[in-house]
Amino acid sequence: MNTLTEFKEIDPYLPVDLDVFHVGSQLAFDLYLKDGATMKQALVRGTWFNAPLREGFLNKGVSKLYIKADDKALFDRYYRQVSLLKESQKDRSFSFREYSYLKDRFLQINADLLIEGTEITFSLYNLCKITFSPVVEASVSAPVRLTAGMIADAGCDVLIKDKEIHLYQEYLAETLRARSGRNAAKKQRKVSILREHAKIVLKEILDDPLSSLKYSTVESLAGDLTAEILQNEHVVHHLIAVRRHDFYSYVHSFNTAVLAAGLAAHIGLDRNAVHRILTGMMLHDVGKRTIPPYVLHKLGNLTDTEYALYKQHVVASGALLEKEKKVPKEALTIALQHHERLNGKGYPYKLSGAAISMQGRIAAIADAFDALTTPRPHKYPLSPFYALQLLAREAVYYDKDLLASFIKMLGDVE
């Protein structure tokens, strides 16, 4: 555990789970082991990673290796290749087109809310990298009692079909009613359920280019979340600490909203200001629903043309929010400025310095932090600690004081 105080020097090593390394693959970078406070070179670039090497690490109790931060791009290329290789070796592998299609038709759920011994009427699926597989098949006429094995974390996301979301919501309401338990645990569960409801609403808005923005619903959910955050800042940790394995626009929208609101509360903004920031951040990427899925879900780097297309989501978000009369100015500013950078290197307007509002600056920090720490099939995520260091190193992009408060708010992170 590290305490974040000041960042003069950035940690030159990045931790990577041993499981990532594929037996039979060639390393395109050096690997290091942590020995107390020092780093020791373990394997050199060009080494073929084989079973005895893996065994050796396991026998020594090593579960994490380190790469040089400068090798991150080489590592991400390796990671993408081995991820796809692992997928192609499985029986039920789906093509990318299927992955992209299915991903939009499933909701990623918080498996911690599923309780052993209770009955479900909806089916569960796993998404591991780009492979979907059924875990439990259940229905209203054939409910299934959950066992520990069904809800064990297999290192994958747990998903349900969009069509069965209402059954999941009924299940959540029922378990909240039925569970007694200690107050603290019950309260935590209530907040987690609030998160699931917000994700569901955001997914509907982000998936369907023709749906209304459901502005009043979003605003009211944001009000409930604001109350929780103002009551207890630690709720922020709880809300963003759910394990995830892939990127979902609705999860990103929710997480960035909570992070931005946490920061706003931390610097002492009043309830209304926090509420407006939370609402605006939930909808900041709504313009993404106008961007083709093959660009949004692409595995690997975007081409220049695709990136230009992707960047249009900002103006699209602005246009959608402007149409909605009830949207406050701050929410619109958040949508329009979340990719602007203090030194003028952002987009779409290349604003700099004082031209970027406080809300825009808060949005930029929350957005960048969530993007850096979220796993994707082609990108290994940075640890929160390292992501904060990276943001601090790129201080020309972000508001220094806000960043310092953000780091304080997140406190001790690994």
Site residues, Fe ion (CB under 5 A): 285, 367
User: For residue 376, how far is the Cα from the chain centroid?
Assistant: 9
Instruction: Give least dist CB 311 to Fe ion, A.
Output: 9
What is residue 40's three-state secondary structure?
strand
CB closer to Fe ion, 367 vs 399:
367
The letter for the amino acid at 364 is A
Instruction: Give least dist CB 370 to Fe ion, A.
Output: 7
Instruction: Give least dist CB 88 to Fe ion, A.
Output: 31
Instruction: Give least dist CB 93 to Fe ion, A.
Output: 30
| Other beta carbons less than 10 A from residue 217's beta carbon | 16
381 touches 374 (CB < 8 A): yes
User: For residue 97, how far is the Cα from the chain centroid?
Assistant: 22
CB closer to Fe ion, 111 vs 201:
201
402 touches 362 (CB < 8 A): yes
Instruction: Give least dist CB 367 to Fe ion, A.
Output: 4
CB closer to Fe ion, 107 vs 260:
260
Instruction: Report the chain's terminal Cα–Cα distance, integer Å.
Output: 5
User: For residue 83, how far is the Cα from the chain centroid?
Assistant: 19
User: For residue 49, how far is the Cα from the chain centroid?
Assistant: 30
CB closer to Fe ion, 172 vs 336:
336
CB closer to Fe ion, 67 vs 364:
364
Token pair, residue 192, equals 């987690």
Taken in order 146, 147, 149, 154, is the CA torsion positive or negative?
A: positive
CB closer to Fe ion, 125 vs 254:
254
Token pair, residue 373, equals 């720490």
Instruction: Give least dist CB 72 to Fe ion, A.
Output: 21
